[in-house]
Structure 1
Amino acid sequence: MAIRPARPTDSAALLRIYAQYVHSPVTFEQTLPTESEFAARIGRIAETYPCLVWEEAGGISGYAYAHRQAEREAYQWNAELSVYLDAAATARGGGTRLYRALLDILVLQGVRSAYALVTLPNAASERLHAALGFRSMGVQRKAGFKAGAWRDVTWFVKDIAPHDDAPRPILPFSRLEAAALRRILDMRG
Structure 2
Amino acid sequence: MIEIRVATPADAMALAAIYKPYVEETTITFDYDVPSAADFVWRIDEILQTYPYYVAEEKGVILGYAYAHAYKERAAYDWAVEVSVYVDREKRGNGAGKRLYQALEETLDKQNVAILTACITGGNQGSIDFHERLGYQEVAKFPKIGYKFDQWLDVIWLQKFLTEVEGKRPPFIPFSSL
TM-score by length of 1: 0.90
- Larger helix share, 1 or 2: 1
Could you tell me how far apart the structure 2 residues matched to 1:129 and 1:33 are?
25
Could you tell me how far apart the structure 1 residues matched to 2:113 and 2:106 are?
10
Q: 1:94 aligns with which of 93, 96, 100?
A: 96
Alignment match, 1:48: 50
TM-score by length of 2: 0.95
Alignment of 1:70-149 (within 5 A): 70-149=72-151
Could you tell me how far apart the structure 2 residues matched to 1:149 and 1:142 are?
9
Alignment match, 2:59: 57
Question: Please, which moves more after superposition, 134-143 or 163-172?
Answer: 163-172
Alignment match, 2:37: 35
Q: CA deviation at 1:152?
A: 0.5
Structure 1 SS opposite 2:119: strand
Q: CA deviation at 1:164?
A: 4.1
- Listed as ranges, the gaps of 5+ residues in structure 1 are 177-189
Runs of 4+ in 1 over 3 A off after TM superposition: none
Q: CA deviation at 1:9?
A: 1.4
Structure 2 SS opposite 1:48: coil
Q: Which has the higher contact order (CA 8 A, sep 6+)?
A: 1
Task: Say if 2:16 is the partner of 1:15.
Answer: yes
- Listed as ranges, the gaps of 5+ residues in structure 2 are none
RMSD: 1.0
- % identical equivalent positions: 41
Letter in 2 for 1:46: L
